[in-house]
């Protein structure tokens, strides 16, 4: 999921460089949502993850 957030962030940067403001804004929004979902799932896996010894 973090991979997709990075991909959308790179798409937003490239679109912004070429002047496509609407596409860049949409890609940035998608990247932010995916990044925050990743963070929540990561923290939950740290808290509730099973440890094997």
pTM to 2 decimal places:
0.66
Q: How many domains does the chain have?
A: 1
In a domain, 31, yes or no: yes
C-alpha separations of 41 from 14, 15, 38, 51 in Å: 28, 29, 5, 17
Residue 36 has a pLDDT of 92
Q: Output the CA torsion 13→33→46→1 (10° steps).
A: -60
In a domain, 9, yes or no: yes
Q: What is the pLDDT of residues 2-52, one digit of tens each?
A: 788 888 888 888 888 888 878 888 888 888 898 899 999 888 888 888 776
Residue 53 lies in a domain: no
> Is there a domain that residue 11 lies in?
yes
Domain around 14: 2-48
């Amino acid at each position: 999921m973090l991979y997709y957030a990075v991909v959308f962030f790179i798409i937003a940067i490239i679109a912004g460089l070429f002047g496509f403001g609407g596409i860049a804004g949409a890609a940035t929004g998608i990247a932010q949502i995916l990044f925050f979902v990743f963070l929540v799932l990561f923290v939950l896996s740290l808290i509730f993850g099973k440890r094997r010894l």
